Structure 1
């Protein structure tokens, strides 16, 4: 009997040890779903040496020409540092959903270059690291204040800004003089009213051209004329009606014809992205560029910038930060701006011309000042889809200025832009 008891006790001990050994390799059953989800978003490398040897994985959201330029600068980085970097581009309109789907299952990149307005959403979802956690420097703190607003959430900065490409107003100064207007019209100034009053004498010859159906271009034009796109006043509505009769719409693929019309003084003004305007001004220095600063200071998302962010899943955040620092260095910024035409975001370029390349073609004043108590989304940003639809109806002649305002107030007329 004693021998049977010994075997019985030995069997119990063996089962206990087996159960304990297995339990150390499993997530406890009482772990919350959120804890397990967090663990899956932050996979750990098998060893520090493995992470050190792995290439940096980068995802970008760029057009084809910008992607090629980024690859050229990246080759410089790999040549100078010996660090390997794999870059994959997501150019499609569903890039945000592709990126977040990969991040959700723990298959995200180390670094991402995305539209700056995406940063806050990525941060609040736990997908990226605060910039201060991987860079000991100012982490882009010298950038234009409005750009930094887009990258801030919960008291931290979550991205490193690269560039901006806002719509600018390109004026044909000599054509203005022939109309009796000596200087570039200022927002809500008398010259704008005088300019719009000249349209009647030109009959069917339009003065202003913007890309057809482009909400960003329309917002820039309204801002440049001193109107509030999201909440137009009665005076704005009167000016808006006069503005409409002056606008020619640039269809896709017809931009060169519009530039030719501006050069020949058939047009007075074009509303186009800064990158296009910078390239055109390099061959036609007589053009005058103006950026509606008040509009952009109140609506930073309209600056249309891109920013870098390091993923919370990064296997080696230090190497990732080194790559971001190289890509946003003064030398890389010069190459990027010269090739793409995008405007740089560092204040010092506009204040001191400390970078040794062509002076930016736009002057900034209001955007260089610190943002005072501004945070969160602007009224225009929260209404952007409503604004875009209302603007398209108005510009296509399917609604009046009054109906445009009613749509923004939540009382849209039952009519589609395709009618």
Structure 2
């Protein structure tokens, strides 16, 4: 009798085990109320991949942000990943990014102004690009750009674009002052600025630039002939060319027309287009949407001799040290910095590509005027990066504006200039 009961118990136990074993119901998922949902199909072997999900923070105007969203949607559809874009106002970007990075709460990817990269890298906020990036080789980057993102033997961000300062001028007006083209040396600039000063109207200057923009002021100094070649050989103090350029500018302050805001810049552009003004300093991107008179000419950076190069702003993609999504970040950054994407970006923003190959006519015929695709020469000059550069530039901006508007003596401005351009170890 006992043996029979044992067989019955054994049979019941066997049936229970069979009911719990994996079978046709292995793909049923339990919902929160414990009811079974519809069967979920397992992916094929080639589709087995965890979907990446990253956040990218940028600081762009609405039109450019919309285009970035469009291109990102295309990327997500082709890669089956999720990218959440955040747009931060340009006036708040530095503090917003710095604060979030310090707390370890930033977006996975950030589009940074190049002059912030080394500071954030030194603070331990960023991953070196070697840890995640497998896109275009560094040899394809326009000369000088990658060096801005280097520190301690590593590259900390991937260049996306550059925005060089250029001179826009009226050739006919130049001829009125006895020259056929922009001067190529200090003596020529001194003669031109002296002639402009003698003929400037009571309404104001005839050489326009944003005197509150430290890079515009630096660009003018360098274009006149005060190029900081000491940055190349490590010597201290200002070069004779820099001292002469500052003295020339000091004597010609009355010819400068300050354009610190949109209204002033629009007004000066009208004067320049109609021949009332002679020349102006602009970023390349600023020229993109302005009505361009056939009488105006641009001095393209690719045509400048090294000693006349002006400054180039720019932005780069960096990955936060707190991010664990390096693979997805790599794929998205590579797509957003491809030569095709950079040429397309030039079309809508006027910002120049960071890749040499983008200057091939096959991508965009209009780009070859700016820089040769085969050029090995830096098209612009870049202040050597350091962790305090953002603060130093803000301080220099105050001095530059005061000097250009006649409120600061030459000696004080020379000291401020020497500090911002001094050689870095």
TM-score interval for Structure 1 and Structure 2 normalised by the shorter chain:
0.7 to 0.9
Structure 1 segments of 4+ aligned residues over 6 angstroms from their partners:
364-367, 378-382
After superposition, the C-alpha distances for 1:358-388 in whole angstroms (9 at most, x for unaligned) are 22543479984379xx965499988534432
Deviation at 1:337, TM superposition (A): 0.9
TM-score (norm 2): 0.73
CA distance in 2, matches of 1:406, 1:390: 10
Partner residue in 1 for 2:366: 358
Partner of 1:221: 220
Distance 1:243 1:290 in 2: 25
Contact 1:162 1:345 in 2 (8 A): yes
Shift of the 111–377 alpha-carbon distance from structure 1 to 2, 3 Å rule, reads closer
Shift of 1:232: 6.8
CA distance in 2, matches of 1:211, 1:267: 15
Equivalent residue for 2:232? none
Equivalent position to 1:259, from 269, 281, 291? 269
Judged with a 3 Å threshold, the aligned counterparts in structure 2 of structure 1 residues 79 and 263 are, in CA distance, closer, same or farther, namely same
> How many pairs were matched up?
355
Deviation for aligned residue 1:261: 1.0
- 1:273 pairs with 2:271: no
Residue in 1 that maps onto 2:62: 64
Contact 1:213 1:395 in 2 (8 A): no
Is the Cα contact below 8 Å between 1:293 and 1:364 reproduced in 2? no
Give the match for residue 307 of structure 1.
Answer: 316
1:321 equivalenced with 2:326 (yes/no): no
Question: What is the aligned partner in structure 1 of residue 207 from structure 2?
Answer: 208
Q: Please list every run of 5 or more consecutive structure 1 residues that lacks an aligned counterpart in the other structure.
A: 1-48, 411-419
SS of equivalent to 1:325: helix
Contact 1:206 1:246 in 2 (8 A): yes
CA contact (8 A) 2:170 2:295 kept: no
Q: Distance in 1 between matches of 2:267 and 2:368?
A: 25
Inter-partner Cα distance in structure 2 for 1:366 and 1:394: 40
CA distance in 1, matches of 2:162, 2:295: 22
Q: State the partner residue of 1:118.
A: 116
Between structure 1 and structure 2, the one with the greater Rg is 2
Q: In the alignment, what sits opposite 1:15?
A: none
SS at 2:107's partner residue? coil
Distance 1:130 1:331 in 2: 25
Counterpart of 1:44 in structure 2 is none
**Residue among 333, 352, 374 paired with 1:343:** 352
Please give the alpha-carbon distance, in whole angstroms, between the structure 2 residues aligned to 1:241 and 1:370.
29
Which residue of 248, 252, 263 maps to 1:243? 252
Structure 2: runs of 5 or more not aligned: 1-46, 229-236, 420-425
Tell me, in whole angstroms, the C-alpha distance in 2 between the residues paired with 1:157 and 1:111: 15
Larger deviation, residues 322-331 vs 174-183: 174-183
